[in-house]
């Protein structure tokens, strides 16, 4: 069981980043605390803070050493933490992600069927319409580490990773599920694909979500995939 | 304005500026010049703001045909630049004229050179920066390194009335044995037994060194016995010295956003330019400093850049 710390713990990540830990493991309650502290920090960015990067159980504060110190930031964070109990933190946003499961878009769904003993329609029913919290974004632009995959769907990674997965691929690996926002190599079992552009660098907002939001996969048919794909990518 | 026709791109030449902070929380790494000091000085020499876009040249340089007049300055690794086969010194400006050919053969010392031009390399800003991040195909020239046949443009900017140069005593020397000052942490508590040995040891730079990280080889760093090999994935910073299961340290750099291994120490910001200039076979030692020392050295480096800016204004005018 992961433990939520009574008071934040601090670690120095060099001379311009401070890591702030709120618990000792991967846990929805700890991550919710990270989300709340990130929201409070961003509402009124303390002097000298250049970026706030939330993660599973911690957040990283990048600061300008000419403008502040970790000691000052720690003080501010402790004060914010006291306030956070009273503060109104907006409810997490739910981001619907249309997914065409199986077929050419989900080449590994057969492997998942074999491993879990579930039929294809059962896999879709268990995977879709769940609000998966985004615990953190990292590894590649827009890549979400999601929590909350149903145990019945857990399937090991592929023995040999694929060298090039198309952007939008949706997969499962052990206790995790997620999406590949850009074409990349990957070892996850791919069960479907979204036609949405998860990372569009030239779009005013290049991303559809941020850490703390929730991802809800919504099954769509192939025709709908084609229509949305055309709209998003042309 | 069209500035260069790329005749030969060199193995890894990209457009970089000082990077992008705005999307770190979405998995977009800082990117930017690996040696920010050399990048900033190159820009100051030609009269640009420090954050203008430059070419980052790795080990071997490009051959460029000049299409429009510009002042140019090469800093960082000394790559033996010539213009129409005439040697041109690094860390000073030279006027490039249409029809001339710039060759940047190969680094004698150091690993990365920076070529600044009047007005900066003009590519579209993407997500707050012109820096190329190849893995996500963003920034720079179509999100990739230069290729033969590319045409590079420059921004507007006035030419210098006379050449400018950096005084010799301010030009960094790139040694084959380097000491990197580092602050313990973020997970120094996982190496209580191994940390003294780490700070005393000498490591060799391996071939696996790129903009994501620089892998070292040497005495394996010992993690305290009872701890698991990995930690809960967390954001990383350039300079973090990550220790994977085999104990061979990796200095994480500007194209890394997160990691799941403990970091024993972090190279101070003022010494990151040195990491950008190591080549395979160089030897690296880590020297323990306090956070206060690191911040002092950071301030000193910022002051030094300010001093260079004022010197160039005073001595050479614009």
Query: Tens of pLDDT along A92-108?
Result: 999 999 999 999 999 99
Nearest chain A Cα distance for residue B28, angstroms: 5
With beta carbons less than 8 A apart as the criterion, state whether B218 and B200 touch. no
* Phi (first) and psi of residue B249, to 5 degrees: -70, 150
| A138/B257 Cβ within 8 A | yes
Name the residue among A19, A70, A137 with its Cβ closest to that of B27: A137
In chain A, residues with a C-beta closer than 8 Å to the C-beta of B260 are none
Fold classification of A4-84 (topology level): Gyrase A; domain 2 (3.30.1360)
| B183/A141 Cβ within 8 A | no
Nearest partner of A21 among A61, A58, A70, judged by Cα = A58
Say if residue B252 is in the same domain as residue B117: no
* Average pLDDT in chain B: 96
In chain B, residues with a C-beta closer than 8 Å to the C-beta of A55 are 232-235, 258
Domain end, chosen from B129, B156, B173, is at B173
- Domain boundaries, position B117: 2-173
Name the residue among A11, A59, A138 with its Cβ closest to that of B27: A138
Residue A186 has pLDDT above 80, yes or no: yes
Tokens read off for B140 = 């720079």
| B299/A138 Cβ within 8 A | no
Alpha-carbon span A87 to A169, nearest angstrom: 38
| A211/B298 Cβ within 8 A | no
B315 domain residue, yes or no: no
Say if residue B146 is in the same domain as residue B32: yes
Q: Where, residue-wise, is CATH 3.30.1360.40 in chain A? A: 4-84
Locate the chain A residue with the closest alpha carbon to B260.
Answer: A139
Name the residue among A14, A51, A57 with its Cβ closest to that of B239: A14
Q: Is A149 helix (H, G, I), strand (E, B) or coil?
A: coil
Q: Where, residue-wise, is CATH 2.40.100.10 in chain A? A: 94-233
- Which residues 6+ apart lie within 8 Å of B235 measured at CB? A13, A17, A19, A53, A55, A58, A59, A60, A138, B24, B257, B258
In chain A, residues with a C-beta closer than 8 Å to the C-beta of B23 are 141, 206-207
Nearest chain A Cα distance for residue B235, angstroms: 6
Cα distances from A89 to residues A153, B51, B157, in angstroms, run: 32, 37, 48
Chain B contact for A15, CB < 8 A? Answer: yes
**Which value does ipTM take for this structure?**
0.95
B39 domain residue, yes or no: yes
Query: CB-side exposure of B81: number of CA atoms within 13 Å?
Result: 26
Query: Tens of pLDDT along B121-178?
Result: 999 999 999 999 999 999 999 999 999 999 999 999 999 999 999 999 999 999 999 9
With beta carbons less than 8 A apart as the criterion, state whether A37 and A156 touch. no
| A139/B24 Cβ within 8 A | no
Task: Tell me if the bond preceding B186 is cis, omega within 30° of 0.
Answer: yes
The CATH number of residue B253's host domain is 2.40.100.10
pTM of the model: 0.95
The two beta strands, B177-184 and B283-288, are parallel
Nearest partner of A176 among A150, A149, A194, A139, judged by Cα = A149
Q: In this predicted structure, what is the pLDDT of residue B316?
A: 64
Chain A contact for B306, CB < 8 A? Answer: no
Query: Tens of pLDDT along A11-68?
Result: 999 999 999 999 999 999 999 999 999 999 999 999 999 999 999 999 999 999 999 9
Fold classification of A94-233 (topology level): Cyclophilin (2.40.100)
SS (H, E, C) B72-111: EEEEEEECCCEECCEECCCCEEEEECCCCEEECCECCEEE
Say if residue B95 is in the same domain as residue B205: no
Query: Tens of pLDDT along A156-177?
Result: 999 888 989 999 999 999 889 9
Q: In this predicted structure, what is the pLDDT of residue B317?
A: 56
Domain end, chosen from B157, B173, B189, is at B173
Task: Provide the edge-to-edge strand list for the sheet that holds A4-12.
Answer: A4-12, A17-23, A58-63, A49-54
In chain B, residues with a C-beta closer than 8 Å to the C-beta of A12 are 183-186, 266, 291
Say if residue B200 is in the same domain as residue B98: no
Say if residue B191 is in the same domain as residue B293: yes
Cα distances from A136 to residues A32, A151, A164, A209, B284, in angstroms, run: 11, 20, 23, 11, 33
Say if residue B101 is in the same domain as residue B232: no
Alpha-carbon span B40 to B308, nearest angstrom: 10
B310 domain residue, yes or no: no
In chain B, residues with a C-beta closer than 8 Å to the C-beta of A24 are 232
Interface test with B, best of A16, A138, A143, A183 (most B CBs within 10 A): A138
Interface test with B, best of A9, A15, A70 (most B CBs within 10 A): A15
Query: Tens of pLDDT along B235-284?
Result: 999 999 999 989 999 999 999 999 999 999 999 999 999 999 999 999 99
Say if residue B14 is in the same domain as residue B116: yes
Q: In this predicted structure, what is the pLDDT of residue B212?
A: 96
Chain A contact for B305, CB < 8 A? Answer: no
Locate the chain A residue with the closest alpha carbon to B230.
Answer: A25
Average pLDDT over residues A4-8: 93
- With tokens 């919710």, the residue in question is A32
DSSP per position, A156-217: PPPSS-EEEEPTTEEEEEBTEEEE-SSSEEE-SEEEEE--S-SB-TTSSSSBS--TT-EEEE
B186 domain residue, yes or no: yes
Chain A contact for B267, CB < 8 A? Answer: yes
Name the residue among A14, A66, A138 with its Cβ closest to that of B237: A14
| A138/B239 Cβ within 8 A | no
């Amino acid at each position: 069981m992961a433990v939520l710390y009574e008071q934040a713990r601090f670690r120095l990540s060099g001379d311009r980043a401070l890591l702030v830990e709120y618990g000792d493991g991967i846990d929805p309650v700890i991550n919710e605390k990270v989300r709340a502290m990130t929201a409070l920090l961003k509402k009124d960015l303390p002097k000298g803070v250049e970026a706030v990067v939330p993660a599973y159980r911690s957040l990283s504060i990048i600061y300008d050493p000419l403008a502040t110190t970790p000691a000052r930031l720690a003080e501010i964070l402790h004060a914010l933490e006291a306030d956070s109990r009273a503060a109104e933190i907006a409810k997490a946003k739910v981001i619907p992600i249309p997914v065409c499961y199986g077929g050419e878009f989900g080449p590994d769904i057969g492997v998942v069927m074999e491993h879990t003993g579930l039929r294809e329609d059962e896999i879709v029913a268990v995977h879709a319409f769940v609000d998966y919290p985004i615990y953190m974004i990292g590894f590649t632009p827009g890549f979400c580490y999601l929590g909350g995959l149903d145990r019945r769907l857990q399937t090991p990674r592929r023995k040999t990773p694929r060298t090039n997965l198309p952007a939008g691929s949706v997969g499962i690996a052990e206790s995790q599920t997620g999406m590949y926002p850009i074409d990349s190599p990957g070892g996850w079992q791919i069960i479907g694909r979204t036609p949405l552009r998860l990372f569009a660098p030239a779009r005013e907002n290049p991303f559809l979500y941020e850490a703390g939001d929730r991802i809800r996969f919504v099954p769509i048919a192939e025709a709908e995939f084609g229509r949305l794909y055309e709209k998003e990518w042309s | 304005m069209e500035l260069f026709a790329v005749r030969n791109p060199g193995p890894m030449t990209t457009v970089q500026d000082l990077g992008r902070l705005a999307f770190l929380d979405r998995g977009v790494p800082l990117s930017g010049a690996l040696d920010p000091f050399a990048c900033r000085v190159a820009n100051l020499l030609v009269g640009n703001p420090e954050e203008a876009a430059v070419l980052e040249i790795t080990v071997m340089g490009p051959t460029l045909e000049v299409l429009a007049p510009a002042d140019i300055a090469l800093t960082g690794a000394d790559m033996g630049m010539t213009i129409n086969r005439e040697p041109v010194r690094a860390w000073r400006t030279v006027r490039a004229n249409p029809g001339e050919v710039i060759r940047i053969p190969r680094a004698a010392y150091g690993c990365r050179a920076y070529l600044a031009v009047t007005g900066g390399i003009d590519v579209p800003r993407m997500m707050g920066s012109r820096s190329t991040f190849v893995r996500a195909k963003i920034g720079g020239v179509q999100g990739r390194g230069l290729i033969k046949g590319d045409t590079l443009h420059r921004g507007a900017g006035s030419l210098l009335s006379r050449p400018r140069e950096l005084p010799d005593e301010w030009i960094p020397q790139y040694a084959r044995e380097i000491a990197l000052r580092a602050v313990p942490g973020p997970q120094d508590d996982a190496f209580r037994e191994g940390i003294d040995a780490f700070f005393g040891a000498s490591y060799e730079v391996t071939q696996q060194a790129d903009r994501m990280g620089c892998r070292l080889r040497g005495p394996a760093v010992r993690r305290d016995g009872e701890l698991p090999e990995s930690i809960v994935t967390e954001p990383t910073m350039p300079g973090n010295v990550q220790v994977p299961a085999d104990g061979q340290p990796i200095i994480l750099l500007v194209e890394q956003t997160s990691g799941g291994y403990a970091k024993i120490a972090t190279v101070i910001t003022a010494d990151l330019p040195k990491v950008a200039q190591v080549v395979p076979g160089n030897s690296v030692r880590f020297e323990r400093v306090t956070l206060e020392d690191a911040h002092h050295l950071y301030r000193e480096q910022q002051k030094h850049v300010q001093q260079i800016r004022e010197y160039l204004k005073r001595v050479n005018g614009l």
